Amino acid sequence: MLTVTTLQRSDSEDRAYWRSRSPLERLEALELMRQVVYSYDPATARLQRILTGPEPLGS
């Protein structure tokens, strides 16, 4: 459904909606928006590991 409203009313409705959400839900939404904005996929973006052996003694 399409609703035409003023920007001021839309802003107040948005604030009321987010104030009704728990802090955890707000943080989850924020994290999702961050991932979308920066094209970040946590499943594929990982730190590269470099395996090294111990240094030989006496070198």
Share of the chain above pLDDT 70, in %: 92
Question: Contact, 37 vs 30, CB < 8 A?
Answer: no
Number of helices (H), then strands (E), in the chain: 2, 0
Q: For tokens 């459904």, what's the residue?
A: 1
Q: Which residue has the higher pLDDT, 2 or 42?
A: 2
Question: Is the pLDDT score of 53 beyond 70?
Answer: yes
What does the pLDDT read at residue 46? 65
Question: Is the pLDDT score of 19 beyond 70?
Answer: yes
Question: Is the pLDDT score of 52 beyond 80?
Answer: no
Per-residue pLDDT reduced to its tens digit, 22-43 = 999 999 999 999 988 888 877 7
> Alpha helices of the chain — where are they, by DSSP H?
7-19, 23-37
Domain coordinates in residue numbering, the chain: 14-42
